[in-house]
Amino acid sequence: MPPIPGSGLAKGLAVTLRTMTKRTVTAQYPDVQPELPPRTRGVIGLFEENCTVCMLCARECPDWCIYIDSHKETVPAAAPGGRERSRNVLDRFAIDFALCMYCGICIEVCPFDALFWSPEFEYAETDIHELTHERDKLREWMWTVPEPPALDPGAEEPKEIAAARKTADKLQAQEAKEAAEAQEAEQSRPGETPGRAPGQAPEAEGQE
């Protein structure tokens, strides 16, 4: 059967109309940033204060792309008669993202919550050496790490938060006590000239 004249045009227009009514899937990046899932593996951030230089992450990394240098320092005894302690001090922490395969093992094995995923992904470089991020840069990524998801309403409070709250309360109580003691001491010296510098001799005030 010969084709009906104009049927090809009608078919083409039907396809155009169908496509026009569909939701667009074109990503307008970089004008519009993509909405990434919270667990996106973009880059690794280092929370240096939590790192004890245990080397677990560097040992477990399948690509050997974590570089850590440290030295030992002796900490004096906390009380007379106590023992000195030695602690590791971090000198270098770097990750080579040219080698990293984003497996997340380093983050999983860190026993002290010092490594985190950030969804940040715009760190392409023209020089491959620039993909080795040193500790300062790894710390900068920490600011882009999203907050952890909220706990279930019935879940127990994590013991770290309970301990941190207890310490904060203790410090607050201690500060309040010290402030009250200082105020009391100030009030018990009524004859003193207010504003005299500590240790200033009284006769020095009348010398001018």
CA nearest to 133, candidates 146, 143, 144, 123: 123
Residue 149, preceding bond cis, omega within 30 degrees?
no
Counting contacts by CB under 6 A, is residue 94 touching ligand SF4?
A: no
Residue in 66, 94, 138, 145 binding ligand SF4, rule: CB under 6 A = 66
Cβ atoms of 127 and 97 within 8 Å: the answer is no
Stretch that binds ligand SF4, among 22-30, 47-55, 156-164, 185-193 (CB under 6 A): 47-55
Q: What is d(CA 132, CA 43) in angstroms, rounded to the nearest whole number? A: 12
Which DSSP letter does residue 13 get? H
Closer to ligand SF4 by CB, 53 or 145: give it.
53
Binding range to ligand SF4, per CB under 6 A, among 20-28, 49-57, 165-173, 180-188: 49-57
Question: What CA dihedral angle connects 144, 145, 146 and 148, to 10 degrees?
Answer: -160
Q: How far is the CB of 102 from ligand SF4 (least distance, A)?
A: 5
Query: Which chain residues interact with ligand SF4 by CB under 6 A?
Result: 51-57, 61-63, 65-66, 68, 95, 100-106, 110, 112, 114-115
